[in-house]
Amino acid sequence: MYYTLLNNKFVPCGTEPQGSPYVSLSSVSAPLAPELEKYLSFPDFQIVLKNPALRFESRENLDMLCLQMLDIRDSLLKKERVYIFLTPEALFFYADTSFPLEEELLALDAPSYPAALGELLFSLFSFLTHGHLDFLFGLESGIAQLEDEILSSKLQKNYTKKIIAIRKRLLAIKHYYELLLDILSSLEDNENALLSLSARKKIRMAREKVSRLLNKTSNLRDYATEVREAYQAEVDLNMNQIMKILTIVTTIFMPLTLIAGWYGMNFAMPEYSHPFGYPIVIGVSLLVLILSFLFFKRRKWF
């Protein structure tokens, strides 16, 4: 679908406009627009569409952007491709699905095509990151709640998988923002002088927003790492407590085991003929038990 600028407004037109700047919204399955053939051959166009990686490419009088609409709220991080071709005469969008900026395009009040470019590109990047900050704040609350559970519970659950899943998700989101930031920085450089000063200001605003999202994601990933370390410290502390108890029990019963082993030997000992031999052994055993208990209590081992 073609949209041409008329009286500061974009209006749809059925065929490709001639002699006036316009915007084209198409799907990735659509053929190469005739106006693009002056800057990009059909084989090159097919190569561009087959490469889904986020990137920015600059040719003579042509800037190409490959973007992805990442749904960070989805656990699988679904992505839809958006290809943008910027020329002095037109702006071409090729997307996997129906393009989401048609309403913004029709509502745009732009005195000129260069001014419209900045508004459209800013709207696009705003759409790509819409709701991301709220999601990251929600994820931060989830990590804080997980931290409280780790510190307050008796570690009856295994939190390792949950923490690793959060860190992997944040890593994918962080990588997405890093690529967006590179694209915006390259676009702001404006090597082909296709953007006006006002358009570059809009691009700078979008870059600063993505930079804030990147910093937030990096901080959350560090926070998740700290929570994992806190959980590991709690596990180690719990294991140390168990080992301490086992060590105390073993240490208390070692003298008793020695006494039992001593009198379990098959030898005729003098104590066997003593009338109070058995009660004395029992008393000695109890005395050893009590003294060991008092010793560990004084040492504050339990």
Are 177 and 217 a contacting pair, CB within 8 Å? yes
Domain count, the chain: 2
Pairing of strands 79-86, 90-95: antiparallel
Residue 265 DSSP symbol = S
pLDDT digits (tens, 9 = 90+) for 177-234: 999 999 999 988 888 888 888 888 889 999 999 999 999 999 999 999 988 888 888 8
pLDDT digits (tens, 9 = 90+) for 94-145: 887 766 677 778 877 777 787 788 888 888 888 888 889 999 999 999 999 8
User: Would the pLDDT of 289 be above 70?
Assistant: yes
- Write down the residue that tokens 């693009």 correspond to: 36
Are 86 and 117 a contacting pair, CB within 8 Å? yes
165 vs 134: CA distance, rounded Å: 19
Q: Do 180 and 262 reside in the same domain of the chain?
A: no
Q: Do 198 and 284 reside in the same domain of the chain?
A: no
Q: Do 230 and 250 reside in the same domain of the chain?
A: no
Q: Do 252 and 230 reside in the same domain of the chain?
A: no
Question: What is the phi-psi region of residue 193: left when phi exceeds 0, alpha when psi lies from -120 to 50, beta otherwise?
Answer: left
Domain of 183? 2-235
Q: Do 169 and 280 reside in the same domain of the chain?
A: no
Domain end position, chosen among 217, 235, 253: 235
Give residue 159's pLDDT.
81
Closest CA to 196 of 103, 114, 297: 114
Closest CA to 6 of 92, 117, 113: 113
Q: What is the residue type of 42?
A: F
Virtual CA dihedral for 276, 281, 284, 285, nearest 10 degrees?
-150
CA atoms within 13 A on the CB side of 125: 29
Query: Residue 154 — very low, low, confident or very high, per pLDDT cuts 50/70/90?
Result: low
Dihedral sign of CA atoms 102, 106, 107, 109 in order: positive
Q: Do 142 and 283 reside in the same domain of the chain?
A: no
CATH of the domain at 163: 1.20.58.340
Q: Do 137 and 198 reside in the same domain of the chain?
A: yes
Instruction: Look over the chain and give the mean of its residue pLDDT values, rounded to a whole number.
Output: 83
Q: Do 110 and 253 reside in the same domain of the chain?
A: no
Q: Do 204 and 172 reside in the same domain of the chain?
A: yes
pTM: 0.76
pLDDT digits (tens, 9 = 90+) for 58-76: 888 888 888 888 777 776 5
Domain end position, chosen among 187, 204, 235: 235
2 DSSP β-pair partners: 13, 24
Q: Do 9 and 147 reside in the same domain of the chain?
A: yes
Q: Do 186 and 127 reside in the same domain of the chain?
A: yes
Q: Do 274 and 200 reside in the same domain of the chain?
A: no
